[in-house]
Copies of this chain bind each other. A is one copy, B any other.
Amino acid sequence: MRYLPLNAEDRAEMLARAGVASIDTLFADIPKAKRLDHDLDLPMRKTEMDVERLLSGLAAKNVAAGSVPFFAGAGAYKHHVPASVDHLIQRSEFLTSYTPYQPEIAQGTLQTIFEFQTQVAALTALDVANASMYDGSTATVEAVAMARRITGRSKAILSGGLHPHYAEAVRTVSTMAGEETEVLAPDVFAAEDFCSLIDADTSCVVVQNPDFFGNLRDLSAIAATCKTKGALLVGVFTEVVSLGLIQPPGAMGADIVVGEGQSIGNRLNFGGPYVGLFATKTKYLRQIPGRLCGQTVDASGRRGFVLTLSTREQHIRRDKATSNICTNSGLASLAFSIHMTLLGDAGLRRLATINHAHAVDLADRLTAVPGVQVLNKTFFNEFTLRIAGDAAQAIERMAEMGVLGGVPVSRLLPGRGLDDLILAASTEINTDADREAFADALQGALSC
């Protein structure tokens, strides 16, 4: 087998050197009755060529974003990632190294984490960021848990503009942990008012911006109320590119900011792996979940980096840890950091502006389609359409016409009377022709 260096001769010699009679001797602790004495009912080994054929066959059954006009968003966005990013994250020394537990031979990984932390803190306008979470949704779960630890209160209030998957994850995990969560009704028009809901048992309010429906939200008022009431404000984003153009949650008073970093450096991957971003204020440093990289010096006085403040973490603090996270999103955070390094402020702002321009153009084109209404007053690169018909059906029909025309709100919020809503996103990858194709397809779908 091509991945196994030992051959039969090696095995025999090694068994002899180890002083055991046969390989099965080494498995003697397995109760005899439970030992497998036959191959499992699975195929036998395959050549590389055959594996390629089989998997390419499966891949070919899917419609890839690059092959059709594509407008799906709702928390995962198709952006253009420079070829150099993928090349760099495939460097053996990044790809096949472990968590940097031996810092003297892991400075590459450590310095990139330090840079990542700095980038995330700057983007979110907060003091300090960690080395990444699994994704935006689990980062949100962690943020709520952290807010509970800090405030000693239970109730988390989740905005009706929070991504429904995020809200469900927070609700599920909180419920299991015996904590209280209040999930507000879907808030298509960003009209909800939290302030009256925040009480003495409120640990935090979780608000997304741009929200799930694409609306931009000014968090300043909520932040002020939270402050007064002793609750924390958790700012969430699912489209990190927006931070190039809109006010970051940190600048509007959020205490913890979490979000999805997939848009920068990472592909859609059918939902994962992605990368969760997590930032907060210095005063909450010791409550941060996950890894932190810090600067120090070596014995010769040279600058170097190490994982630090690990007394917060599971491997030291065990059941008292700030989180159970161990493996995080290392390579995806590296991809994020490399892409962000290529962009810089100027590139990010330009990218965000193009996204916004494309979305504005799309909104204008779709508004012109009979039976279609854009519901947003403000948005970044995604907005909500109300159509004269069933959104899921329209999208299915458009797919048959070769256009992936957004996400039906009902897929995430079924049974909420929102069956006529579509979330449509336009990033830098869409051309004029793509957007025109979308308008045409939607018109077609609605008229059949």
A interface vs B, CB < 8 Å? 2, 48-49, 52, 80, 82-83, 87, 90-92, 342, 428-429
Contacts and interface: CB of A to CB of B under 8 A. Distances in A.
A87 B91 CA distance: 9
B87 A48 contact: no
Contacts of A90: 87, 90
A49 B428 contact: yes
Given A49-B429, A87-B90, 10 more contacts: A2-B342, A48-B80, A48-B82, A48-B83, A49-B80, A49-B428, A52-B80, A90-B90, A91-B91, A91-B92
12 contacts: A2-B342, A48-B80, A48-B82, A48-B83, A49-B80, A49-B428, A49-B429, A52-B80, A87-B90, A90-B90, A91-B91, A91-B92
Closest 5 CB pairs of A and B: A49-B80, A48-B82, A49-B429, A48-B80, A87-B90
Contacts of A87: 90
Contacts of A428: 49
Nearest to A431: B53
A52 B90 CA distance: 20
Nearest to A83: B48
Nearest to A429: B49
A202 to B, nearest CB: 45
Nearest to A347: B2
Q: How many copies does the complex hold?
A: 2
Contacts of A2: 342
Nearest to A88: B92
A61 to B, nearest CB: 15
Contacts of A429: 49
A41 to B, nearest CB: 25
A342 B428 CA distance: 42
Contacts of A48: 80, 82-83
A424 to B, nearest CB: 20
A49 B82 CA distance: 8
A160 to B, nearest CB: 36
Contacts of A92: 91
Contacts of A83: 48
A346 to B, nearest CB: 10
Nearest to A56: B66
Contacts of A82: 48
A374 B178 CA distance: 79
A429 B91 CA distance: 29
A342 B82 CA distance: 31
A339 to B, nearest CB: 12
Contacts of A49: 80, 428-429
Nearest to A79: B49
A128 B83 CA distance: 40
A2 B428 CA distance: 17
Nearest to A342: B2
A87 B86 CA distance: 12
A91 B342 CA distance: 20
A92 B87 CA distance: 9
Nearest to A66: B56
A91 B96 CA distance: 14
A415 B223 CA distance: 86
A83 B429 CA distance: 29
A114 to B, nearest CB: 22
A87 B90 CA distance: 8
A62 B82 CA distance: 25
A52 B2 CA distance: 35
A435 to B, nearest CB: 16
A84 to B, nearest CB: 9
A429 B49 CA distance: 8
